[in-house]
Structure 1
Amino acid sequence: MITFFGALIFLVLGYVFYSKFVERVFVINDQTPTPAYTKRDDFDFVPMPWWKGNLIQLLNIAGLGPIYGAILGALYGPVAFIWIVVGSIFAGAVHDYFSGMLSLRHNGAQYPTIVGKYLGNVVKSCIYVVSLVLMVLVAAAFTAGPAQLIAQLTPLSFMMALLLIFGYFLLATLLPVNRVIGKIYPLLGAILLFMAVAIAVALLFTDKQIPNLTFANLHPQELPIWPLLMVTISCGAISGFHCTQSPIVACTMKKESHGRKIFYGAMITEGMIALVWAAAGMTFFNGTGGLQEALALGGPSYVVNEISISLLGTLGGILAILGVIILPITTGDTALRSSRMILTEVFSKFFNMEGKVKVLLVTLLLAAPALYLATIDYTFLWRYVGWTNQVVATVMLWTAAMYLLKENKFHWIASVPALFMSGVVCTYIFYAPEGFGLDYNTSLLIGSVLTFAVLGWFVSQVWKHLNIKSGNAEKRVA
């Protein structure tokens, strides 16, 4: 119990103090007109109040991510609390802040364009492919589940439910951002928050005790904490999917000072939601062994349903159904919207099409494979999403680090978490069954070597920058 409340307090303190430090390092200027005004088209670029942007960002990046991921991460025990707190404050929120603010500073540019500016065109080309594949997979994965539940609860068939969901996707993607997303998402974001708060309060009045911190690995299958926990709990700590969503809200911001509330604030809120569900998972079923048995019965959806109904009664059942159906769908539609914005940015360099025609064609081009993947057994593909997601996050952190380095700012706030996440993804791909499936010690060795190679690259960039800076200073003196 003490650990849980302490973790919540640290998240609040992280927002109050560290977010302001990050903002000072970035250096905001409210006198600079934002893309919402300079590129206003009342479609993607339209000014909206910061509180609405915050709730939209929260729903864009959250959905079921901080619920399902936190429940699976709870299998490791209270050590999951540490990763949620540290990851959210020093990695995830920094990642989200820079992905949103760099988009803002570059006229609403999408994530791959920002990467290309600071890490080069080769990385940019790779990220175009990786990020688009990630978002199509996310749209497919977060559609099949709700469609199956709708088919179970209503007379509709699975395919009919799937087509209805994709019909909504097309509507939300093709309409101006303030028509559907701007009006409905703040309400749904509030429901997500209410659900987490209600579960947290109910936990306090049960006879079950939220476990306190222990550094022991309590996973029933004895899976290693490093690097699996950092991939299992992504939403709620750090997730690369977020940097593909941040430009959507960046295009609606009225001024730069809203960035801390929107991007950093939404990530901290998501961390709190993950903290609640991790605590519920490891508490409600009397430990990680009981949680493992519950997951075996019906996966995270079953766990959410059991916790919600048992703690909140009829209200809990309604919230669980709303959560399991609506929240994934809202993740899927913004995944398609952001991928549409990315692909449109690419096509605009090669084709000169009318705006609405281009938007429609690009949307259909992306929706088709997502719809197809939602109808097949794509489990073997979905297994790669976790690693791909964290690769995208790592690249975004290195992009932020290079931006700060070139601007002669305190790059450590981005380069340290970037190096940490490099270690995570380099080790994970060699150890995980969807990767090379090597033994743990071998994977650690290879992952460490690759991480040091990445560190060597960044040190060379720092050295190169210092030499350029020194040469410019000498020229000025001469």
Structure 2
Amino acid sequence: MDAMLMMLAAFAGYIVMYQLYGRYIGRKIFALSGQAPVPAKEMEDGVDYVPTKKEIIFGHHFTSIAGTGPIVGPAIAVIWGWVPAMIWIFVGSIMMGAVHDFGALILSMRNQGKSVSEITSKYINPRTKLFFFVVVFLDLLIITAIFGLVIAVIFNMYPASVLPVWLEVPIAMWLGFMIYRRGANALTWSIVALVLMYATVVLGTYLPIKLSAIGGLPPTGIWTVALLVYAFIASTLPVTTLLQPRDFINSHQLLVALALMVIGVFAATFSGSQLHIVAPAVQAAPEGAPPMLPFLFITIACGAISGFHSLVSSGTTAKQVESENDSLFVGYGSMLTEAVLSTLVIVAVAAGIGLGYHTGEGATLTGIDAWSTHYSSWAAAKGLGSKIAAFVYGAANMIEAAGIPHAVALAIMGVFVASFAGTTMDTATRIERYALTELFSNSPIRIFENKYVSTAVAVFLAGCLAFSSGGDGKGALSLWPLFGCINQILAALVLTTVTVYLKQRGGLSWIISGIPAIFLGAMTVWAILINQGMYMEKGNMLLSSLNLLVLCVSLWVAAEAIIKFLKTEAGTPATEAS
């Protein structure tokens, strides 16, 4: 199938389903009201609770949920074939992921911007709070540590991206100053900031920064330390100082990157390059790969549905949306925009890589030979650097077809990936601070009410995990095999909570979240059980113990939710669920 036609069909589907299914859910299921009280206004403090225009908060929300998730997942899942990958991205994002993100956002906005742990405690029962927190905490800990490594790996692979990524910080703070202190027009000045940032991309192409080992620490270790320090600072600043303006720039950067890739698809299709999908349509048993069912639904998370999104919805976003009517655009719309990105990732790794692939021996391969070399086996395709490289090189090939020099195209995509990973990293740190504060809110331990203490604990634990394997900062990779299942079981549990909430509202509206919860929960438990057998067979006690813990905690929360669901009648007050 022609890559361009597949891309256009998917894009048209996302637009149609947002207008039909998304608006139906907002209007009929959640009954959005522009007059409803929202936490951003009721609890405004100028630091975390800040009423924000929907275009700006969309930028924050999207760049936070995106990160590298919608890139690395599809970039490896395509090994099972581009057809199953695209079906899951398309159907999953519309029917599951967007419902999950939007539902978590609405529930949090209707509960003072509280986290999903607190919301679950309210709508199911207080016993679930601690168990739910275990899943949330592991998810956030791995994200904070692993995304620091992701950026470090990108810096090491694409040194041209270093300067632009770091210079984006002062540019964003300047933009925040202009908008919030000087009253400048947000759109106009954000475009100026974007132009400045792309000027630094060109500068970075000519001034690449590649570190050498310092004091025994390899480059990845040095960058990981620097990024953890950055995450601490960024996540304690008021959202208007860095988080919002940086994410507004990144949302524009996303539009530029998407536009360049789309233009590249057209340019390559109608040029001598002839962009065609070279990956197999279906490849059920790649060498060394786990079974496509259930692992397709675990490998592609952010592009279809991801539990981390609910943490962003209920962590930072719910505290900034200034009207319930904006929540559909922010929550449902962001997920479909992420699906657009994942669709382009599929195009890049299934077709773009075929335009030219440089091997370690110096040869340049094209077509099916290029794809088959990179995806020769599960072991060859699953490495962190391999996933990123497949997308960056495939996308750069398409952008080059539009007339942009390949070196600049590589820098653009490297900065794009690193910027989004940085957003996710410090947002996850901020959310972990919220989670720690909430966990101890009703206990005699008051120290976690101090944002610097709770943030320091979050960063310290992430640092311990990152450097648990040595100075390279790759310790989080020891827990990375758990992340997919933890992330997806979290999504299934959040959908379960939404289902209980909708059951209380009456009718059969709970079906829109209940069916996705059952499907995703079943697939994830299936994967957890397969992994448990594998970890035990290999004698990996760390992964085996944590995997079993996640399974037990998840089944406990699910059982409590089912009991609550069966006992709940329409019109049950939320306080009775406490």
Same fold (TM over 0.5): yes
Cα deviation for residue 119 of structure 1 reads 2.3
Is 1:105 the counterpart of 2:110? The answer is yes
Cα deviation for residue 321 of structure 1 reads 2.2
1:395-442: per-residue Cα shift (whole Å, max 9, x none)? 00000000000111410000000010111111101123686679xxxx
Higher mean alpha-carbon deviation, 136-145 vs 195-204, is at: 195-204
SS at match of 1:348: coil
Higher mean alpha-carbon deviation, 76-85 vs 377-386, is at: 377-386
Cα deviation for residue 223 of structure 1 reads 4.0
**What amino acid does structure 1 have at the position aligned with 2:50?**
V
**What amino acid does structure 1 have at the position aligned with 2:338?**
E
Q: Following superposition of structure 1 onto structure 2, how do residues 439-458 of structure 1 map, counting pairs within 5 Å? A: none
Q: Does structure 1 conserve the Cα–Cα contact (< 8 Å) formed by 2:504 and 2:569?
A: no
Structure 1 residues 215 and 411, CA gap change in structure 2 (3 angstroms)? farther
Cα deviation for residue 189 of structure 1 reads 2.2
Identical counterparts, % of pairs:
25
Is 1:342 the counterpart of 2:435? The answer is yes
**What amino acid does structure 1 have at the position aligned with 2:390?**
V
Cα deviation for residue 122 of structure 1 reads 2.7
Q: Does structure 1 conserve the Cα–Cα contact (< 8 Å) formed by 2:47 and 2:239?
A: yes
- CA distance in 1 between counterparts of 2:443 and 2:382 reads 50
2:523 corresponds in structure 1 to: 424
Is 1:183 the counterpart of 2:252? The answer is no
Structure 1 residues 311 and 42, CA gap change in structure 2 (3 angstroms)? same
- CA distance in 2 between counterparts of 1:397 and 1:418 reads 5
Match of 1:140 among 120, 136, 145: 145
Q: Give the TM-score normalised by structure 1.
A: 0.88
Is 1:368 the counterpart of 2:460? The answer is yes
- CA distance in 2 between counterparts of 1:139 and 1:169 reads 9
Q: Does structure 2 conserve the Cα–Cα contact (< 8 Å) formed by 1:84 and 1:233?
A: yes
Q: Following superposition of structure 1 onto structure 2, how do residues 223-302 of structure 1 map, counting pairs within 5 Å? A: 223-247=290-314, 248-283=316-351, 284-285=353-354, 286-287=367-368, 289-293=372-376, 295=381, 298-302=385-389
**What amino acid does structure 1 have at the position aligned with 2:228?**
F
SS at match of 1:171: helix
- CA distance in 1 between counterparts of 2:254 and 2:52 reads 21
Structure 1 residues 144 and 32, CA gap change in structure 2 (3 angstroms)? same
Match of 1:209 among 276, 299, 306: 276
1:4 corresponds in structure 2 to: 7
- CA distance in 2 between counterparts of 1:354 and 1:429 reads 36
1:473 corresponds in structure 2 to: none
Structure 1 residues 292 and 437, CA gap change in structure 2 (3 angstroms)? farther
- CA distance in 1 between counterparts of 2:280 and 2:414 reads 32
1:446 corresponds in structure 2 to: none
Cα deviation for residue 452 of structure 1 reads 12
Unaligned runs of 5+ in 1: 439-450, 470-478
2:403 corresponds in structure 1 to: none
Cα deviation for residue 373 of structure 1 reads 1.7
1:200-250: per-residue Cα shift (whole Å, max 9, x none)? 331331413136995663745564322111001000100001111112111
Q: Does structure 1 conserve the Cα–Cα contact (< 8 Å) formed by 2:68 and 2:421?
A: yes
1:303 corresponds in structure 2 to: 390
Match of 1:192 among 243, 250, 254: 254
2:198 corresponds in structure 1 to: none
SS at match of 1:378: helix
Q: Does structure 1 conserve the Cα–Cα contact (< 8 Å) formed by 2:299 and 2:484?
A: yes
- CA distance in 2 between counterparts of 1:452 and 1:130 reads 12
Cα deviation for residue 380 of structure 1 reads 2.5
Q: Does structure 2 conserve the Cα–Cα contact (< 8 Å) formed by 1:308 and 1:319?
A: no
Q: Following superposition of structure 1 onto structure 2, how do residues 395-434 of structure 1 map, counting pairs within 5 Å? A: 395-409=493-507, 410-432=509-531
Structure 1 residues 71 and 276, CA gap change in structure 2 (3 angstroms)? same
Is 1:358 the counterpart of 2:450? The answer is yes
1:330 corresponds in structure 2 to: 423
Q: Does structure 2 conserve the Cα–Cα contact (< 8 Å) formed by 1:150 and 1:156?
A: no
- CA distance in 2 between counterparts of 1:435 and 1:404 reads 38
1:38 corresponds in structure 2 to: 42
Cα deviation for residue 5 of structure 1 reads 2.6
Structure 1 residues 431 and 269, CA gap change in structure 2 (3 angstroms)? same
Q: Does structure 2 conserve the Cα–Cα contact (< 8 Å) formed by 1:85 and 1:271?
A: yes
- CA distance in 2 between counterparts of 1:306 and 1:433 reads 35
Q: Does structure 1 conserve the Cα–Cα contact (< 8 Å) formed by 2:145 and 2:462?
A: yes
Structure 1 residues 453 and 203, CA gap change in structure 2 (3 angstroms)? same
- CA distance in 1 between counterparts of 2:63 and 2:249 reads 10
Q: Does structure 2 conserve the Cα–Cα contact (< 8 Å) formed by 1:74 and 1:279?
A: no
- CA distance in 2 between counterparts of 1:155 and 1:280 reads 29
1:63 corresponds in structure 2 to: 67
Alignment length, in residue pairs? Answer: 456
Structure 1 residues 228 and 326, CA gap change in structure 2 (3 angstroms)? same
Cα deviation for residue 198 of structure 1 reads 1.8
Is 1:82 the counterpart of 2:185? The answer is no
2:188 corresponds in structure 1 to: none
Cα deviation for residue 199 of structure 1 reads 2.2
Q: Does structure 1 conserve the Cα–Cα contact (< 8 Å) formed by 2:285 and 2:291?
A: no
**What amino acid does structure 2 have at the position aligned with 1:309?**
A
SS at match of 1:19: helix
1:383 corresponds in structure 2 to: 481
